[in-house]
C-alpha cells in the first residue's frame, strides 16, 4: 500500500505531561520531517522551520530543555532600559504646538481611518 502525503494533513495534538511547561506532542508518522532535520535534532542542534521566509517554530531535542529554568527573553534588562530612558534628551516643549498646527492644516480625522477612500 503506497502512502501519499497531503500538503494540509490534519495532525492530532496532545499535551505531554513529562515536562512542567505546556508542550505539544505529535507522532512522527503524522508529519514529514526531512532526514537532515532529524539528523540535526539527533546531534542536539535546533532546527528553525520557516514559513514565507519567517521563522515559524523551532524543533529541538527534548534533552536540551532545562526543566524549571526560566526562558531567556530577548531585549534589555529593565534597569538598563530605565537608565537609557533617563539619559535620553527631554522632549521639545514646542513639539506639541507644531503638531497642533499640522492637525489644524490637515483638518479633522475621519470617523473610520481604515475605510476605503
Map grid coordinates 492530532 to a residue: 12
- pLDDT beyond 60 at 105: yes
d(CA 99, CA 71): 42
pLDDT tens for each residue of 67-77: 555 556 677 88
- Nearest CA-CA partner of 67 in 109, 21, 27, 28: 21
Distance set, CA 11 to CA 8, 18, 30 (Å): 9, 21, 6
Model confidence pTM above 0.85: no
Amino acid at each position: 500500500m503506497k502512502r501519499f502525503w497531503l500538503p494540509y494533513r490534519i495532525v492530532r495534538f496532545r499535551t505531554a505531561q513529562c515536562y512542567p511547561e505546556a508542550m505539544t506532542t505529535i507522532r512522527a508518522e503524522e508529519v514529514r520531517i526531512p532526514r537532515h532535520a532529524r539528523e540535526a535534532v539527533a546531534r542536539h542542534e535546533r532546527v528553525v522551520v520557516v514559513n514565507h521566509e519567517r521563522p515559524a517554530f523551532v524543533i529541538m531535542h527534548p534533552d536540551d530543555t532545562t526543566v524549571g529554568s526560566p526562558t531567556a527573553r530577548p531585549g534589555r534588562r529593565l534597569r538598563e532600559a530605565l537608565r537609557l530612558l533617563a539619559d535620553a534628551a527631554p522632549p521639545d516643549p514646542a513639539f506639541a504646538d507644531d503638531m497642533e498646527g499640522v492637525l489644524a492644516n490637515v483638518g479633522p480625522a475621519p470617523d473610520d481611518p481604515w475605510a476605503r477612500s
